[in-house]
Amino acid sequence: MHPFTFQVGVLNCFSISDGQHTYPARAFFANAPAGELAAALSRHGLAAEMVTPFNCLLVDTGAQRLLIDTGIGRRGGPSADKLRQSLAAAGLTPENVDIVVLTHAHADHIGGALNTGGQPAFPNARYLLTRAEWDFWTAERPGVNDARRKQAQTALRLLENRLYLIESDGEIAPGVRALPAPGHTPGNIAVEIVSAGSRLIYIPDVFAHPIHLEQPGWNIMGEDDPLLAINTRRRLLEMLADTDTPVFGYHMPPPGLGRVIWQERAWAWQTVSPTM
């Protein structure tokens, strides 16, 4: 299937899917009271497990092609690792990508950054990561030796020679800027894209399902600073609600494009249909 394409001003944008994966619902709503979670899942037609998409964003500025996040890759099983296939459907190869933005270093965002030989999967690209994110994952932490940290350290060290560190509010390219979104991880960023009076905000794991808009106090499992993650979620929702600003959500329903609206005394997600 041809990827969903849309414009931000004069920039061509592509929703590039890395497929999907099934997780326990509790992994996305770790602190939700059991009864309230069951009711929310029922309203959304979900069960104890839920399928989560990986919507990467490719932006063609005319001078450069930027890929934001790289999917989960082989770790996601047979329903994932579709990034190269999706790029091909857009008429592109990994060699056509000039900049890879890693919003944070969790495996489902950097899983496609390396090929099967442990080399950068996008051979002509500069890889960008925030300095705060690099420091967090590469620092030696006595007594902290979890698998997620080992995975991130291994991947980042293999990318180190191609990795450029940026500030959490730094410029990525003309018209493309990082926005601080800490909490999920210390260096987690959103990305703002501005062109010809139009604006798009790319949101990674600040909210990972429409339920997070209804219940911004429900945390994703394993967040580094749960309270800061909630505050970041509320701040971005307040900034975006009813502004008509398009939002691209990494884990939101495909193609990932939508808007934040205020509906019945709660925030809600309004998907932009692929037919639009």
pLDDT of 177 above 50: yes
Listed as own residue / partner, the contacts of 173-182 with beta carbons closer than 8 Å and 24 or more positions apart are: 173/61, 173/64, 173/66, 173/99, 174/61, 174/63, 175/9, 175/11, 175/61, 176/59, 176/61, 176/66, 178/130, 181/103, 181/206, 181/232, 181/236, 182/132, 182/225, 182/228, 182/229, 182/232
Kindly report, residue by residue over 121-145, the tens digit of the pLDDT. Answer: 999 999 999 999 999 999 877 556 6
Q: Which of 44-58, 110-124, 137-151, 215-229 has the lowest mean pLDDT?
A: 137-151
pLDDT of 233 above 90: yes
| CATH T-level topology, domain 5-271 | Metallo-beta-lactamase; Chain A (3.60.15)
pLDDT of 33 above 90: yes
pLDDT of 273 above 90: no
Kindly report, residue by residue over 80-118, the tens digit of the pLDDT. Answer: 999 999 999 999 999 999 999 999 999 999 999 999 999
Side-by-side strand order, sheet with 247-249 = 171-173, 176-180, 189-195, 198-203, 247-249, 257-263, 266-271
Mean of per-residue pLDDT scores for the chain: 95
Rounded Cα–Cα distance for residues 211 and 268 (Å)? 8
Q: CA 238, 239, 245, 251: dihedral to nearest 10 degrees?
A: -70
pLDDT at 140: 78
Q: For tokens 């082989």, what's the residue? A: 74
Q: What percent of the chain has pLDDT over 90?
A: 92
State pTM to two decimals.
0.96
Cβ proximity of 201 and 211 under 8 Å: no
pLDDT band with cut points at 50, 70 and 90 for residue 276: very low
Angle at 127 between CA 172 and CA 117, to 5 degrees: 165
Encoded tokens for 194: 């501005």
pLDDT at 275: 46
pLDDT band with cut points at 50, 70 and 90 for residue 223: very high
Angle at 98 between CA 275 and CA 69, to 5 degrees: 55
pLDDT of 11 above 60: yes
